[in-house]
Amino acid sequence: MKAYEYLAEILQDGHLSIPEDLRGKLSGESKIRVMLLLEDEDTPWNGFAMSQFIKGYSEKDAIYDSL
């Protein structure tokens, strides 16, 4: 199986766009697998939570790093 990655747009009719260079590799009988990866809406919150966690790290905690 070959994998191609690209950013698609959702067209007015609800279909996904396919770049021209990939469209040429497809025929009417092509079988493809589609995977949707959506950006997390709470990504800034995750970054903030991680930064706060790291702020609470102490050199005394280093003993646990080697377990």
Q: What percent of the chain has pLDDT over 70?
A: 94
| Residues 6+ positions from 40 with CB-CB distance below 8 Å | 46
Query: Residue 24 carries which DSSP code?
Result: T
Is the residue at 50 inside a domain?
Answer: yes
**pLDDT at 42 (0 to 100):** 66
Dist. CA 55–CA 59, nearest whole Å: 11
Is the residue at 30 inside a domain?
Answer: yes
Is the residue at 32 inside a domain?
Answer: yes
Q: Give residue-wise pLDDT tens across range 32-53.
A: 888 888 776 666 777 788 788 8
Q: Which domain holds residue 35?
A: 20-66
Number of folded domains that form the chain: 1
Is the residue at 59 inside a domain?
Answer: yes
- Greater pLDDT, 13 or 48: 13
Q: What is the dihedral of CA 39, 41, 46, 47, to 10 degrees?
A: 70
Tell whether the model's pLDDT for residue 11 goes beyond 90.
yes
